[in-house]
Amino acid sequence: MNYQEVLNRIHQEVQQKKNRGKVATYIPALAEADIQKFGMAIHTIDGEDYQVGDAEEFFSIQSIAKVFTLTKAIQQHDEKVWKRVGKEPSGTAFNSLVQLEVEQGIPRNPFMNAGALVITDMITKGTGKMKKDLIAFVRNLSGNNQVSYDFEVAHSEEETGYRNVALANFIKSFDNLTNEPKTVLDVYYHQSAIQMSCLDLSRACIFLANKGQSPFCKEQILTPRQTKRMNSILLTSGMYDAVGDFAYRVGLPGKSGVGGGIVAIIPGKLAVSVWSPGLNASGNSQIGLKALELFTTYTGISVF
The per-residue pLDDT for range 19-39, each reduced to its tens digit, is 899 998 888 888 889 999 999
Which tens digit of pLDDT belongs to each residue from 140-184? 999 999 999 999 999 999 998 899 999 999 999 999 999 999 999
Mean pLDDT of the chain: 94
Would residue 45 count as lying in a domain?
A: yes
Which tens digit of pLDDT belongs to each residue from 252-280? 999 999 999 999 999 999 999 999 999 99
**Cβ-count burial 119-131 (b if 16+ within 10 Å, e if not):** bbbbbbeebeebb
Q: Residue 76: pLDDT above 80?
A: yes
Q: Residue 288: pLDDT above 80?
A: yes
Q: Residue 221: pLDDT above 90?
A: yes
Would residue 100 count as lying in a domain?
A: yes
- pLDDT-derived band at 58 (thresholds 50, 70, 90) equals very high
Mean pLDDT value of segment 130-147 = 96
How many Å apart are CA 291 and CA 288, to the nearest integer?
5
How many Å apart are CA 249 and CA 261, to the nearest integer?
17
Cα 285 to its chain centre, rounded Å, is: 12
How many Å apart are CA 231 and CA 249, to the nearest integer?
17
Among 3-12, 67-76, 155-164, 284-293, the range scoring the smallest mean pLDDT is 155-164
Q: Residue 91: pLDDT above 80?
A: no
pLDDT at 299: 96
What is the per-residue DSSP string for 181-230? HHHHHHHHHHHHTEEE-HHHHHHHTGGGGTTTEETTTTEE-S-HHHHHHH
Q: Residue 98: pLDDT above 80?
A: no
What is the per-residue DSSP string for 91-126? -S-TT--HHHHHTTT--S-TTSHHHHHHHHHHH-SS
Would residue 186 count as lying in a domain?
A: yes
Q: Are 60 and 72 in contact (CB under 8 A)?
A: no
pLDDT at 1: 84
What is the per-residue DSSP string for the chain? --HHHHHHHHHHHHTT-S---B--TTSGGGTT--TT--EEEEEETTS-EEEEESTTS-EE-GGGHHHHHHHHHHHHHGGGGGGTS--S---S-TT--HHHHHTTT--S-TTSHHHHHHHHHHH-SSHHHHHHHHHHHHHHHHT-TT-EE-HHHHHHHHHH-HHHHHHHHHHHHTT--SS-HHHHHHHHHHHHTEEE-HHHHHHHTGGGGTTTEETTTTEE-S-HHHHHHHHHHHHHHTTGGGHHHHHHHT-S-EEE-TTSEEEEEETTTEEEEEE---B-TTSSBHHHHHHHHHHHHHH-----
Q: Residue 101: pLDDT above 90?
A: no
Query: What percent of the chain is predicted at pLDDT more than 90?
Result: 83
Range of the domain at 92: 3-299
pLDDT at 154: 94
CATH classification at residue 226:
3.40.710.10
Query: What percent of the chain is predicted at pLDDT more than 70?
Result: 98
Is the model's pTM score more than 0.85? yes
Q: Residue 93: pLDDT above 70?
A: no
Would residue 304 count as lying in a domain?
A: no
Total domain count for the chain?
1
pLDDT at 100: 82
Mean pLDDT value of segment 58-81 = 97
pLDDT at 222: 98
CA angle 213, 216, 217 (to 5 degrees): 80
Q: Residue 106: pLDDT above 90?
A: yes
Q: Residue 234: pLDDT above 80?
A: yes
Would residue 143 count as lying in a domain?
A: yes
Q: Residue 127: pLDDT above 90?
A: no
The residues with which 59 forms a beta bridge, in sequence order, are 196
- pLDDT-derived band at 18 (thresholds 50, 70, 90) equals confident
Which tens digit of pLDDT belongs to each residue from 189-215? 999 999 999 999 999 999 999 999 998
Nearest to 168 by CA among 189, 193, 194: 189
pLDDT at 137: 97
- The amino acid at residue 135 is I
